């Protein structure tokens, strides 16, 4: 299985009309990256952990076209965990779309992270979420800086979800003891949350409270340590 989050197809069109920023489309590069990963790792299922689309409402031509061409290029089933940008995706794309609470596949739970995950998702050994687009701001000794996308991983604290579910959901500190993984945005033009900069609030309603001893990792796997101390 290959899982990725926050593809945000057609983002260049939105940047042009919403912010007046003109960028060449990277739709082909994004498609080639996904298809290469599928081939390289002999993937037989693709899971998009929310925000396959970029526009909140109906997609424009470039966005819909990017998704349709990508799906035509794949020979594996695709499941989209519905995110806040995925609107009417289920009505026109040939993909399985979950409800916003997410889905559990074996021992792994997937939810986009913009709303509260389903209880069954939280009871998984590993819970994967997107939405946050975590990034770290790295500075050098002469004051230069750059921003890098990052993974976050730590324990999952059930107390962050207290009061959000009925009593019969069966959630308690003892029943929720897995790991939480926050995916970086697949699309490098999305921007994100600078997790190691004071004053930058998280977007997800359960972060950072749900993340215990959260460690940050660069895309190449380099471990940076506690994300807030990077």
- Checking if the pLDDT of 43 tops 80, the result is yes
Residues 174-178 have a mean pLDDT of 80
- With beta carbons less than 8 A apart as the criterion, state whether 167 and 175 touch: no
Lowest-confidence region among 108-112, 171-175, 205-209: 171-175
Q: What percent of the chain has pLDDT over 90?
A: 72
What average pLDDT does the chain have? 92
Domain ranges of the chain: 1-98, 100-230
User: Does residue 166 or residue 69 have the better pLDDT?
Assistant: 69
Query: Between the CA atoms of 160, 161, 167 and 171, what dihedral angle is there, to the nearest 10 degrees?
Result: -80
**What DSSP string runs through 115-130?**
SPPPHHHHTSSEEEE-
- Checking if the pLDDT of 148 tops 90, the result is yes
pLDDT value for 176:
81
**What DSSP string runs through 181-207?**
EEPPPSSTTS--EETTSTT---SSTTT
pLDDT value for 110:
98
- Checking if the pLDDT of 92 tops 80, the result is yes
Q: Is 147 helix (H, G, I), strand (E, B) or coil?
A: strand
pLDDT value for 60:
63
pLDDT value for 199:
84
pLDDT value for 174:
67
- Checking if the pLDDT of 130 tops 80, the result is yes
pLDDT value for 62:
80
pLDDT value for 54:
84
Q: Which CATH number fits domain 1-98: 3.30.70.1430, 3.40.190.10, 3.90.1170.50, 3.60.21.10?
A: 3.60.21.10
Q: Cα angle vertex 190, ends 187, 192, to 5°?
A: 115
- Checking if the pLDDT of 172 tops 70, the result is no
Q: Cα angle vertex 108, ends 132, 173, to 5°?
A: 80
Q: Is 223 helix (H, G, I), strand (E, B) or coil?
A: strand
- Checking if the pLDDT of 218 tops 70, the result is yes
- With beta carbons less than 8 A apart as the criterion, state whether 229 and 213 touch: no
pLDDT value for 51:
96
């Amino acid at each position: 299985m290959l899982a990725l989050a926050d593809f945000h197809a057609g983002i260049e069109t939105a940047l042009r009309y919403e912010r007046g920023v003109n960028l060449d489309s990277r739709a082909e590069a994004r498609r080639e990256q996904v298809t290469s990963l599928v081939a390289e790792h002999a993937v037989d299922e693709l899971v998009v952990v929310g925000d396959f689309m970029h526009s909140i409402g109906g997609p424009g031509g470039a966005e819909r076209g990017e998704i349709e061409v990508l799906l035509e290029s794949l020979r594996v089933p695709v499941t989209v965990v519905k995110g806040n940008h995925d609107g009417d995706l289920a009505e026109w794309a040939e993909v399985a779309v979950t409800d916003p609470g997410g889905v559990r596949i074996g021992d792994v739970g997937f939810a986009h992270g913009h709303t509260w995950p389903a209880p069954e998702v939280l009871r998984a050994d590993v819970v994967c979420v997107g939405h946050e687009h975590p990034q770290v701001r790295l500075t050098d000794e002469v004051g230069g800086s750059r921003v890098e996308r990052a993974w976050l991983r730590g324990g999952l604290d059930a107390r962050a979800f207290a009061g959000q579910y009925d009593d019969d959901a069966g959630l308690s500190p003892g029943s929720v003891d897995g790991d939480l993984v926050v995916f970086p945005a697949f699309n490098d033009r999305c921007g994100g949350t600078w997790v190691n900069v004071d004053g930058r609030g998280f977007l997800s309603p359960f972060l950072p409270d749900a993340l215990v001893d959260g460690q940050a990792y660069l895309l190449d796997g380099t471990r940076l340590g506690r994300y807030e101390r990077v």
